[in-house]
């Protein structure tokens, strides 16, 4: 069963057609997926003896894996909400486009996930 809005569109189609367009929606979903992968791989690595180096996330990891995952997920959604609601702006005098921030976020998360995969498949002793 698929939820339909007033125009008969599915909810995912409705969301992808909203204010920012389907490419921005896809980039946002990729960022969320990468965040979920990052959380999963982090938990796996910690179970193998690795240490979370981010002190904020280490604090939540000590509270339990569900808390860690929830905070990571919510921080990602909050960041995406800020990026998508703010107009293009400037940072230290340089003009920053929303699209550039999404790409930066996506590339950074992809690199983190890639590094985690390296650590999983080629453990350091």
Provide the number of structural domains found in the chain.
1
**What 8-state DSSP symbol labels residue 93?**
T
Q: Is residue 103 part of a domain?
A: yes
Q: Provide the residue range defining the domain that includes 79.
A: 22-121
Strand, helix or coil for residue 125: coil
Q: Is residue 15 part of a domain?
A: no
| Other beta carbons within 10 Å of 48 | 10
- Confirm whether pTM is higher than 0.85: no
Q: Is residue 13 part of a domain?
A: no
Q: Is residue 39 part of a domain?
A: yes
Q: Is residue 11 part of a domain?
A: no
Q: Is residue 3 part of a domain?
A: no
The set of residues, in sequence order, having a beta carbon less than 8 Å from that of 51 and lying 6+ positions away, is 58
Please report the sign of the dihedral spanned by the C-alpha atoms of residue 14, residue 20, residue 22, residue 25.
Answer: negative
Are 16 and 22 spatial neighbours (Cβ–Cβ below 8 Å)? yes
pLDDT of residue 22: 75
**pLDDT per residue rounded down to tens, the chain (125 residues):** 444 544 555 545 544 555 667 788 888 899 999 999 999 999 999 999 999 999 999 999 999 999 999 999 999 998 888 888 776 666 667 777 778 888 999 999 999 999 999 999 998 76
Are 3 and 11 spatial neighbours (Cβ–Cβ below 8 Å)? yes
Q: Is residue 45 part of a domain?
A: yes
Q: Is residue 64 part of a domain?
A: yes
């Amino acid at each position: 069963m698929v939820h339909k809005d007033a125009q008969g569109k599915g909810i995912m189609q409705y969301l992808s057609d909203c204010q920012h367009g389907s490419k921005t929606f896809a980039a946002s979903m990729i960022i969320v997926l990468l965040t979920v992968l990052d959380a999963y791989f982090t938990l796996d690595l910690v179970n193998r003896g690795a240490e979370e180096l981010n002190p904020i996330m280490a604090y939540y990891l000590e509270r339990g894996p569900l808390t860690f995952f929830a905070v990571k997920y919510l921080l990602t959604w909050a960041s995406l909400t800020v990026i998508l609601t703010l107009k293009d702006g400037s940072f230290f005098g340089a003009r920053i486009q929303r699209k550039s921030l999404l790409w930066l976020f996506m590339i950074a998360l992809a690199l983190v996930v890639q590094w985690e995969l390296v650590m999983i498949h080629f453990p350091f002793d």
